[in-house]
A and B are shown apart, each in its own frame.
Chain A
């Protein structure tokens, strides 16, 4: 039985889709079978970031409504052969998703794949609640900004109340992934510190992804950064986060700014 991981945040634009793609690709590179499911019906983006937009024939709504089989809708990635994408419908809205339908699709995916990543839409409405409904674990993507952290806190409340696991009295494992962390701004105190974020959310840290132009460039080129530029700092942070998600215990290094001669003398690497 595979593990279902919802990638969620509450707030929009914090990097849910980018992180879904980067984490999913990172896990798939280790040989695990991974499915990425886009729940953002009506505003799909995961296909673009995976570079699969020109190969979409059927989507999640077709599968739920029975007009296509799951195997027809899944798109295999061209770079990693254990990585699959189930796109969302761009022409429908979130009312096309039913709880039973989503449950059936997730159950089928769970029986075939090692990991199922559900890319949640922003907000706390129906779409977001269906994306998290059947999850075993949750990755909460947060920027170190007060608004993002507060929205994440709200989402954590929903995860503890509205998921199937929570309703059955079980514990849903939660991880915070801090994205767009700007070491220079953090040093000037213009952002919340990692400690502040963790203190507010009281959820364990999965990783810290530094703010990086490479991530945006990779997204625009239709390739998760963990595949296209695996050596840059953001990609390495995602790869480490993926290993932690699989249960490995790795220390999290807070990115810092290269300060000049003294740092180089001490042998520190800029993150």
Chain B
């Protein structure tokens, strides 16, 4: 008789990671642009070697054949294209790199969504933004703001689609309770919740998470790879706590830390949940 090997009860870890890629934006006329690129490479040989490069074709908008030849031409110069940005396309051709969407701009303040970056640039150049602020907020989350002063209101996320906070940087403060089914995603910093976080809701933050009510839902801090992020709550009834992909479930927290004010933080390779005095 043979026995199947027992499946190892090992949980799979999912985590979001950010990498910085260089974006090349070819402009017409292409031969002039390539000449400039060659000049640049001539001054800094090996600059692109081993670096992830994304090709932004939203300015040039070439057809598929032109993209193929462009990728080849860049390949001859030692520039390997990891992905292509081209609005309105989800896939190009099987032999071309994948299409990438949702890019954020790297700045000294951190990562910025594209629209926000455009506004920052506009402001820096002393121009008025092309879109009014309300119109921009409307694309990201429905309704007017109640939760934070003049910022996009993530607490109105009454939908299963996660509401992504669109603020440029810093802390997201939510003054209303977070209801079951709501998901608050804040990729730019800490999240502070003044009310409770209901069972069946979720907070995902790049930074730390502070809950001044009872935390009954799920909280993931440092979700973009910040090991130093922590989770604090006044009363821990959480379904799951995670920092940088390491997590503990409610079952594992049974006993010592349930119902108490706690903090959760990474200690080496494990997530520790300790009570706050």
Contact = CB atoms under 8 A, between A and B. Distances in A.
Interface of A: 124, 146, 150-151, 153-154, 156-162, 166-169, 199-200, 202
A146 B180 CA distance: 12
Secondary structure at chain B's binding surface: helix, strand, loop or mixed?
loop
B117 interface: no
A9 to B, nearest CB: 13
Nearest to B144: A169
B142 A167 contact: yes
Contact of A157 (B143, B158, B195, B199): B158
Contacts of B156: 160-161, 166
A157 B181 CA distance: 8
Given A153-B181, A160-B156, 14 more contacts: A124-B181, A150-B200, A154-B179, A154-B180, A154-B181, A154-B200, A157-B181, A157-B201, A160-B176, A161-B142, A161-B157, A167-B142, A199-B214, A202-B196
B142 A150 contact: no
B179 A162 contact: no
Given A159-B158, A161-B158, A200-B196, A153 B179 contact: yes
A85 to B, nearest CB: 30
Contact of A161 (B143, B199, B216): B143
9 residue pairs, one from A and one from B, having the closest CB atoms: A161-B158, A157-B179, A169-B144, A153-B180, A154-B180, A157-B158, A154-B181, A158-B158, A153-B198
Contacts of A161: 142-143, 156-159
B245 to A, nearest CB: 27
A124 B201 CA distance: 15
B265 to A, nearest CB: 27
B182 interface: yes
A162 B195 CA distance: 21
A124 B157 CA distance: 14
Which of B144, B155, B158, B159 gathers the greatest number of chain A CB atoms within 10 Å? B158
Interface string B156-178: 11110000000000000000110
Contacts of B155: 160
Contacts of B143: 161, 166-167, 169
Contacts of B142: 161, 167
19 contacts: A150-B198, A150-B200, A153-B199, A153-B200, A154-B179, A157-B158, A157-B181, A157-B182, A158-B158, A160-B155, A161-B143, A161-B159, A162-B158, A169-B143, A169-B144, A169-B146, A200-B196, A202-B195, A202-B196
Interface of B: 142-144, 146, 155-159, 176-177, 179-182, 195-196, 198-201, 214, 216
Contacts of A154: 179-181, 200
Which of B142, B143, B157, B195 gathers the greatest number of chain A CB atoms within 10 Å? B143
Contacts of A146: 199
B182 to A, nearest CB: 5
Contacts of A156: 179
Contacts of B146: 169
Nearest to B195: A202
Nearest to B146: A169
Nearest to A170: B144
Contacts of B180: 150-151, 153-154, 157
Contacts of B214: 199
B258 to A, nearest CB: 15
Contacts of B177: 202
B188 to A, nearest CB: 22
A192 to B, nearest CB: 12
A146 B199 CA distance: 10
A151 B158 CA distance: 12
Contact of A150 (B159, B195, B199): B199
Contacts of A200: 196, 198-199, 216
Nearest to B158: A161
A199 B157 CA distance: 21
A168 B135 CA distance: 14
B141 to A, nearest CB: 9
Contacts of A167: 142-143
A243 to B, nearest CB: 27
B26 to A, nearest CB: 42
A244 to B, nearest CB: 22
Nearest to B178: A157
A157 B200 CA distance: 12
A150 B176 CA distance: 17
Contacts of A202: 177, 195-196
Contacts of B198: 150, 153, 200
